[in-house]
Amino acid sequence: MKKSNGKSEAEIAGIDLEHELPPGEGDDGSSEPAGRAVPEEASGPAAELQKLKAERDSLQDRFARAQAEFDNVRRRAAKEQQDFRDYAAADAIKSLLPVVDSFERALQVKSEPGDFRSGVELIYKQLQDVLVKLGVRAIPAKGEPFDPHVHEAIEMVETSDAPDHEVIEELQRGYKMKDRLLRPAMVKVAKNP
């Protein structure tokens, strides 16, 4: 090799002649010696850039698909919840329809006031049975100690006839469905002077 400014062409090109592989044993399996292969710096950055762009595009595509799948699952879950609420309400209403039918029949019949009252009492009992079947129960109030979790005090009445903070009158019945409060009982509460 020719020398230029005291260096050989191999040294200028960055080729290590002492560690050069014999012919047929290049890094890429070609018969070219490793020292004469095209330096990686020439094609490396462009190839690396293409590889990174392809990887980025692949990741963006996977992200877009995952996001679309998540949106679909969220929409499907919201629809299932709404359907469940609709059908749950439909079941409750379906069980109340016979009570409505009984009221309509009672209103169509011309009868004595005593008979009308007994008919309405039967319908009331039918409605109570439906509520019990749905898991609804009345909250005990009169004679019970005042409980702010299930009672709503409308008035404090000064009296010595009942213990302090005892419910003396129920103005509107409260209801629970299983352990969930549907409506607190509106009550008057005793207050000892």
**Tens digits of per-residue pLDDT, 9-63?**
545 445 444 444 444 444 444 444 444 444 445 478 889 999 999 999 999 999 9
Share of the chain above pLDDT 90, in %: 39
Q: What integer pLDDT is reported at residue 151 of this predicted model?
A: 95
Confidence class for position 97, pLDDT limits 50, 70, 90: confident
Residues 6 or more apart whose CB falls under 8 angstroms from that of 28 comprise 37
Answer for the pair 156, 132: CB distance below 8 angstroms, yes or no.
no
- What are the structural domains, with CATH classification, of the chain? 136-193 (2.30.22.10)
Residue 99 tokens, joined? 């009570």
Confidence class for position 112, pLDDT limits 50, 70, 90: confident
Confidence class for position 7, pLDDT limits 50, 70, 90: low
pLDDT digits (tens, 9 = 90+) for 133-186: 888 899 999 999 999 999 999 999 998 888 999 999 999 999 998 888 999 999
Distance CA 9, CA 3 (A): 7
Answer for the pair 169, 153: CB distance below 8 angstroms, yes or no.
no
E-assigned strand segments in the chain: 3-4, 7-8, 136-138, 151-158, 167-172, 175-177, 180-183, 185-191
- pTM of the complete model beyond 0.85: no
